[in-house]
Amino acid sequence: MSSLAGRVALVTGASQGIGRACALALAAKGATVALAARNEAKLAEVAAEIVAAGGVAHPFALDLSCEESIQACAKGVIAQLGKVEILVNNGGITRDTLTLRMKRKDWDDVLSTNLTGAFLMTQAVMGSMLKARWGRVVNIASVVGETGQAGQANYAASKAGLIGLTKSLARELAGRTITVNAVAPGFIETSMTAVLTEEQKKAMTSQIPLARTGTDRDIASAVAFLASDDASYITGHTLDVNGGMYMG
């Protein structure tokens, strides 16, 4: 029997990249997966991919910058699937520019989506986990939330905040057998990094001891582990998946 058989997982930002990979990995372990993102057409494609592989998945519309959308998504998932036991807070955006040029809206949009959105979604499904006295929350942070990055003050701040949120929630929820952890990816090949020039990619790869960029599957494997019973004694931890790029 798969290790997550009978569990219900909700993955935000599941239409592509790391979110898609996480959904596929959790479904492969036997979980029923709720796929949430703004792009419903892409969600349908991911759901079809999971079903074709013998898994179970359902798409749900979600805008992480909108509290009403978050509440509606969470209620819809619980109404249709009965519960949420595993939450992967993956959805996020970037608005990169140097701080001197950063507009207030660039700051607010990133913090609202990446940090406040994760907080509100966790809050919205927490009751389901508390009722079951079992749960897994996995927040997708970033190496830049640990090291900082020029031109990404807003993104780095949101991811650093996510790590702080992870530790605080872990303390609050441990008594109900709910673990809360973060995964901090390094340089991963996704649509977010596709906009970088080859020169920028080479410069970043040169900082990685394992001498290669990561894949979305590298992150998904870490998430699937933290969602499993094998990780039942791990909480409040940030798991760095970065090829040695940062060793904290």
Judge whether 213 lies within some domain. yes
Q: What is the CB neighbour count within 10 angstroms for residue 91?
A: 26
**What is the pLDDT of the chain when averaged over all its residues?**
96
Residues in Cβ contact with 246 at an 8 Å cutoff, skipping those fewer than 6 apart: 143, 146, 147, 184, 186, 240
pLDDT at 121 exceeding the cut of 80: yes
Q: Which DSSP string do the residues of 182-223 spell out, in sequence order?
A: EEEE-SB-STTTTTS-HHHHHHHHTT-TT-S-B-HHHHHHHH
pLDDT at 213 exceeding the cut of 60: yes
Nearest to 128 by CA among 38, 60, 34, 30: 34
pLDDT at 68 exceeding the cut of 80: yes
Residue 200, burial from CB neighbour count under 10 angstroms (0-12, 13-18, 19+):
exposed
Number of domains in the chain: 1
Mean pLDDT, residues 89-116: 98
Residue 141 near residue 157 (C-beta atoms within 8 A): no
| Between 99 and 190, the higher pLDDT residue | 99
Task: Give the pLDDT of residue 193.
Answer: 74
Helices and strands: H and E segment counts in the chain = 9, 7
Residues in Cβ contact with 185 at an 8 Å cutoff, skipping those fewer than 6 apart: 18, 140, 141, 142, 143, 214, 218, 219, 241, 242
* 34-43, 158-167, 187-196, 219-228: the lowest-pLDDT one: 187-196
Task: Give the pLDDT of residue 138.
Answer: 99
pLDDT band per the 50, 70, 90 thresholds, residue 192? low
Judge whether 244 lies within some domain. no
Judge whether 232 lies within some domain. yes
Structure tokens, 230: 């094998």
| 72-97 residue pLDDT tens | 999 999 999 999 999 999 999 999 99
pLDDT band per the 50, 70, 90 thresholds, residue 2? low
Task: Give the pLDDT of residue 199.
Answer: 87
Percent of the chain residues past pLDDT 90, beyond the cut: 92
Judge whether 248 lies within some domain. no
Q: How far apart are the first and last CA of the chain?
A: 36
Judge whether 25 lies within some domain. yes
Judge whether 245 lies within some domain. no
Residue in 60, 155, 187, 225 annotated catalytic: 155
Q: Which DSSP string do the residues of 115-155 spell out, in sequence order?
A: IIHHHHHHHHHHHHHHHHT-EEEEEE--THHHH--TT-HHH
| 139-153 residue pLDDT tens | 999 999 999 999 999
Structural domain of 232: 8-239
155 is catalytic: yes
Question: Rounded to a whole number, what is the largest CA-CA distance in the chain?
Answer: 54
Mean pLDDT, residues 225-245: 97
Return phi, psi of residue 188, to 5°.
-115, 140
Q: Which DSSP string do the residues of 159-189 spell out, in sequence order?
A: HHHHHHHHHHHHHHHGGGTEEEEEEEE-SB-
Judge whether 109 lies within some domain. yes
CA atoms within 13 A on the CB side of 172: 13
| 15-40 residue pLDDT tens | 999 999 999 999 999 999 999 999 99
CATH code where residue 15 lies: 3.40.50.720
Residue 189 near residue 104 (C-beta atoms within 8 A): no
Mean pLDDT, residues 57-74: 98
pLDDT at 191 exceeding the cut of 80: no
pLDDT at 1 exceeding the cut of 50: no
Judge whether 247 lies within some domain. no
